[in-house]
């Protein structure tokens, strides 16, 4: 199946509402844990702090890059995600690689999307996994963008510490409006 066909299928694939909200909650919790609202926040450092290596395509030989593309968890051409268990080190080894010929905004979107596959524990390619990665990465990207416009991070962190999730806050707001 061609890459663009899979992305179109994933874009039209509907996750259950509860799962979509759960993924948004997970994205906000992850960002709050890493204090994304602070001025020195760097999404690449956050990902690296979780044991995931990030490498541009230009650091691979064409042969190695082609081999890695066959093993990726994601279904996109601009990036790839690999997650393999190393029995010798007794840990998961994770890698996100991205096309460094893209703009920095495209690069950010690709890296976060591919990281989403690893963070969500995906083990194989599927339309469902691709849809989950899209929802999760959009949650992260949306909150990062909103933080630049209207600082919400400290507000979300305050409520998260009080045991309230983004889903609970959204449901409360919905009840107030309706």
Q: Which pLDDT tens digit goes with each residue over 42-97?
A: 999 999 999 999 999 999 999 988 888 888 766 667 889 988 877 888 888 899 99
Cα gap 88→138, rounded to integer Å: 35
Q: Which residue has the higher pLDDT, 59 or 12?
A: 59
Give the pLDDT confidence of 121-135 residue by residue, as tens digits: 988 888 899 999 999
Percent of the chain with pLDDT over 70: 80
Burial track 82-107 (b if 16+ CB lie within 10 A, e otherwise): bbeeeeeeeeeebbbbbbeebeeeeb
Burial track 143-173 (b if 16+ CB lie within 10 A, e otherwise): bbeebeeeeebeebbebbeeeebbbebeeee
What pTM was computed for the model? 0.82
- Confidence at residue 104, expressed as pLDDT on a 0 to 100 scale: 86
2 band by pLDDT with thresholds 50, 70 and 90: very low
Strands 52-56 and 91-98: parallel
Mean of all residue pLDDT scores within the chain: 83
- Confidence at residue 67, expressed as pLDDT on a 0 to 100 scale: 86
The answer to whether residue 15 scores a pLDDT higher than 60 is yes
Would you call 81 helix, strand, or coil by DSSP? strand
């Amino acid at each position: 199946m061609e890459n663009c066909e899979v992305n179109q299928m994933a874009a039209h694939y509907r996750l259950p509402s509860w799962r979509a909200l759960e993924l948004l909650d997970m994205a906000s919790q992850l960002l709050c844990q890493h204090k994304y609202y602070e001025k020195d926040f760097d999404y690449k450092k956050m990902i690296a702090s979780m044991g995931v290596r990030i490498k541009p395509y230009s650091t691979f030989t064409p042969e190695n890059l082609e081999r890695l593309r066959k093993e990726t968890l994601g279904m996109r051409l601009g990036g790839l995600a690999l997650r393999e268990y190393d029995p010798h080190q007794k840990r998961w080894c994770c890698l996100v690689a991205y096309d460094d010929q893209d703009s920095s905004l495209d690069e950010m979107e690709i890296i976060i999307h591919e990281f989403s596959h690893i963070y969500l524990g995906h083990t194989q390619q599927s339309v469902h996994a691709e849809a989950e990665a899209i929802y999760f990465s959009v949650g992260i990207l949306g909150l990062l963008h909103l933080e630049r416009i209207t600082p919400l991070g400290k507000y979300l962190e305050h409520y998260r510490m009080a045991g309230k999730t983004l889903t609970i806050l959204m449901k409360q707001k919905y009840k107030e409006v309706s």
